[in-house]
Chain A
Amino acid sequence: MKRQGPVLLAFIIGMLMLIQFFTPNPLFLRIYNLFLDWKQVVLGCTLILGTWSLIRHHTRKIERKQENWQYSYVTLIGLAAMVLAALIWKTEGGPYTWMFQNMQVPMQSTMFSLLAFFVASASYRAFRARTFAATLLLIAGAVVMLGRVPVGALIGGSIGGHEVTVSTVADWILNVPNLAAKRGIMMGVGLGMTATAIKIILGIETTYLGKSD
């Protein structure tokens, strides 16, 4: 029953959700809205679960003096400081907003900006004309890189009455070969999603119960 109960529940709720998509019956719409409301409530509650896990992970690290345990203090102090600031001074103005604007946002932006460096090093390493396919990738990559910045529009000229620049070629690459490949992947992903949903409804897939085999 421990396993059958949730599987049965998933089947009933899954079928209700499936039926509501096809029927205009207002009863199913009400059920659908009810589940959407509850989904938000449950998701809010899981944040407590996550926070508890984070605290436990780091307190244990400190207790056991595991390698780099000092950093765990930074995490816990940061967590406590943001929560307390929000509780004491609220989220409009005050220390919370200051910490958000001047600490969290710059730190997040820093992480994102690392991408510029990593893209440079990864593309330098990966774009080698080792094979014919790799050469095609290299050429396409170079054209798109140039075409996505203003300088791309300045390189090119008129061919047969048509304006052909690196930017127009880049747009063609993005809109035709790139799009064809993406549509293929998207179709597979869509089928995968539908298959997984059906497997969950039919009780074939039970990973969400924490058991993959």
Chain B
Amino acid sequence: MKAVTPRGESRSPSLAALVVALLFSVVLSAHPSGAAAPEGRVADTPDDWGTSLTLTWTYAGPPEEIEAFEIRRHAGQAQAPAAPAAADSIDMSFDTWGWALVDSAAPGDTVFVDSDLDGGTAYSYAVVACLGAVKSPSVPTPPARPERQYLRSATVNVLVAVGVFMALVLVLVERARRGADLFIRRIAGLEAVEEAVGRATEMGRPILYVPGLDPMDEVATVAAIDILGQVAKKAGEYETKLVCPNRDPIVMAVAQQVVREAYASVGKPHLYQDENVYYVTFSQFGYAAAVAGYMVRERPATNFFIGKFYAESLVLAETGNATGAIQIAGTDSDAQLPFFISACDYTLIGEELYAGAVYLSRRPLLLGALKAQDYAKILILAAMVVGIALAVASPGTFEAYRKLLQ
């Protein structure tokens, strides 16, 4: 007998099929069984690259009599045993007619995803209920072909949102490039940057700039580095020492470059020193200890805590408060905002942080992108209002209100 492996199905039934078919009727009569047969359906698996099919089945008989389900597969249509029979004879029939044993499923299972299939071939499936000495096969499913999808259906809404947002960014950036007057409201924390740097200069003490604890792929860190560039320019103009300890080596490298260029842009490249923008440690509270220690020893006149912060925020802000420094914080870490608000002089909340660099530099390209965020927010709010209106107007909600009033 021809050995059949899960992947080794044959497309042409052998001559032995005839013999088996004859035997089959004999076997069937020898094993009369009232076992129900599973009913199978096969369909293309959605959201894949045309390499899998999904087989689902139902079984009308009592589930406790099932030991397992066997999944048989054949490329194209083929003959198959059609009635319950002795397990050996069913196996032999399937093998003879070229049905590959793909896998087996537990008694409670009703779905099987057959993957790594050939995209150009149609496949037929049979589900075989194993009932001890007897096996009960389903009628083979009509052949189905794996279809290729180019887009994951679950991501269509994201794609539309990204498309709309990207279009908004491009349109508003173009408007900004052409000189359109795009309004940004006054942000007190950013207005105070000049005063804060000036104070450090008057006192002859350094400025401490902490760019958060997260790596460069965090948007708050990108904003923090942007603001660092603007603060470094002002520090360069006033010839005031700027110190920037880092928790992430990549952020440190970027910060060094930003500060170097900021000093150069105001004609003071000689003021830049690598050791003032340095790496401390990756440890969260190790970093907090080092920065707090610096504040206590060197007593910087101005502290900036801009970026992503975690539980260490209060250790930093409260130590700075105790040393009497003027403190400007900015973060999108909402849990840390109360701490910064209570211990700092100014706090940039959430998006104010993202607006920071644009606010200070007034670069038209970034201004356009910032405006796009505002318009996107209006769209989201509109969608929420529509959603709430629909939810309120739905019959289920009325029913809930009625019950509540009762």
Where the two chains meet, the residues of A that have a C-beta atom closer than 8 Å to any C-beta of B are 18, 21-26, 46-47, 49-51, 53-54, 56-57, 60-61, 67-68, 71, 104, 107-108, 111-112, 114-115, 118-119, 121-123, 125-126, 181-182, 185-189, 191-199, 202, 204-205, 207-213
Contact A186 B366 (CB under 8 A): no
Q: Is the interface of B mostly helix, strand, loop or mixed?
A: helix
Where the two chains meet, the residues of B that have a C-beta atom closer than 8 Å to any C-beta of A are 47-49, 149-152, 155, 158-159, 162, 165-166, 169-170, 173, 216, 219, 222-223, 225-226, 228-230, 233, 246, 248-250, 252-254, 256-258, 260-262, 265, 274-275, 278-283, 285-286, 288-289, 293, 297-298, 311-312, 314-315, 317-319, 321, 332, 334, 339, 341-343, 349-351, 354, 357, 361, 363, 365-366, 369-370, 372-373, 376-377, 380
Contact B169 A199 (CB under 8 A): yes
Contact B275 A56 (CB under 8 A): yes
Contact A122 B318 (CB under 8 A): yes
Shortest Cβ distance from A12 into chain B, in angstroms?
17
Contact B165 A50 (CB under 8 A): no
For B334, list chain A residues within 8 Å (CB). Answer: 181-182, 185-186
For B311, list chain A residues within 8 Å (CB). Answer: 112, 115
* Complex alpha-carbon distance, A189 and B228, angstroms: 20
How many contacts A-B (CB < 8 Å)? 201
Contact B342 A125 (CB under 8 A): yes
For B342, list chain A residues within 8 Å (CB). Answer: 122-123, 125-126
* Complex alpha-carbon distance, A70 and B162, angstroms: 54
Given A111-B289, A115-B315, A202-B169, A54–B280 Cβ distance below 8 Å? yes
Of all chain A residues, which has the CB nearest B372?
A195
Shortest Cβ distance from A133 into chain B, in angstroms?
12
* Complex alpha-carbon distance, A114 and B370, angstroms: 38
> Among A18, A51, A53, A115, which residue has its beta carbon within 8 angstroms of that of B314?
A115
> Among A50, A68, A209, which residue has its beta carbon within 8 angstroms of that of B249?
A50
* Complex alpha-carbon distance, A157 and B281, angstroms: 50
Contact B366 A57 (CB under 8 A): no
